[in-house]
Amino acid sequence: MRRPIIAGNWKLNTCSESGPALVAALKAEVPAPSDKVEVVVCPPYPYLGLVAAAAAGSGVEVGGQNAWHETSGAFTGEVACEMLQDVGCKWVVLGHSERRQINGESDELINSKVRKALDVGLKVILCVGELLEDREGDRTEAVLKTQMTGGLVDVSAEQMAEVVIAYEPVWAIGTGKVASDEQAEEAHKFLRGWLEGRFNGDVAGATRILYGGSVKPDNANGLLGQPNVDGALVGGASLKAELFIPIIQAGVASVS
Ligand code: PGA
């Protein structure tokens, strides 16, 4: 069984008060590590330490929204994977479509970060997903293949135990326009097949593939109920405990 992951990407939101307060509310739902669901929150860098302290010992784990692929040096504005770990992160999100689009991150750069994070011992949530024009031009699978191939260069089958894939169709992120259950399942099935070809059946069977893009309490059960959807990467709805907790519950229900 693949244990579902419900991850919250807080993006450029929260503050030193609201971040820990949100975690305190989530801890009521997952007071201790659970074998039914893994819950991860990804606050902005300045609050990582505070949020990790608030989450300590509970079923809420903390991740960075990005990282740099060097340990130290003249990289103004960047944060190292080791620094994320130092302040209590177990996870890092890499290749988010906003990083790809706004910051021009290439598959090559994302791959350097993936390899560095894995070397250091961080677990990676690698985001992939097509633009609306790709979907309309029937290029969804080609885009996913390119991003998976490029993002996972020189990553071994053993290392894949620490990698989670997030399928996030760009047209569904922050738009309220969610992929249908069938569209999500079709893309996830394609990704799992790709993992089998690139690695092997064991890796394909064990890798968690999350769906992201306008996940809300009212669509979570349908999406998470798909056989190849192993959790969710949630933006907007992760900022309110009353929205995020029902999504966590949908994750638990999806394997019960
Ligand atoms: P959204 O964001 O849930 O607000 O659509 C998802 C994401 O960007 O990870």
Distance, first Cα to last Cα, the chain:
11
Which pLDDT value is given to residue 145?
A: 98
Largest CA distance in the chain: 49
Predicted confidence (pLDDT) at residue 62 exceeds the cutoff of 90: yes
The distance from CA 226 to its chain's CA centroid, rounded to whole angstroms, is 18
Q: Is the pLDDT of residue 1 over 90?
A: no
Could you tell me the pTM of the whole model? 0.98
**Which burial class, exposed, middle or buried, applies to 32 when counting CB atoms under 10 A from its CB (0-12, 13-18, 19+)?**
exposed
Q: Is 96 a catalytic residue?
A: yes
pLDDT for the residue numbered 256: 79
Q: Does 233 sit in the ligand 1 pocket, CB within 6 Å?
A: yes
Rounded to whole angstroms, how far apart are CA atoms 247 and 140?
A: 26
For residue 69, report the distance from its CA to the centre of ligand 1, in Å.
24
Structure tokens at 150: 């490029």
List, for residues 120-161, the tens digit of each pLDDT value: 999 999 999 999 999 999 999 999 999 999 999 999 999 999
Catalytic residue, candidates 61, 69, 82, 96: 96
Q: Which amino acid is at 173?
A: I
Q: Which domains does the chain have, with CATH numbers?
A: 5-253 (3.20.20.70)
Residue 233 alpha carbon, nearest atom of ligand 1 = 9
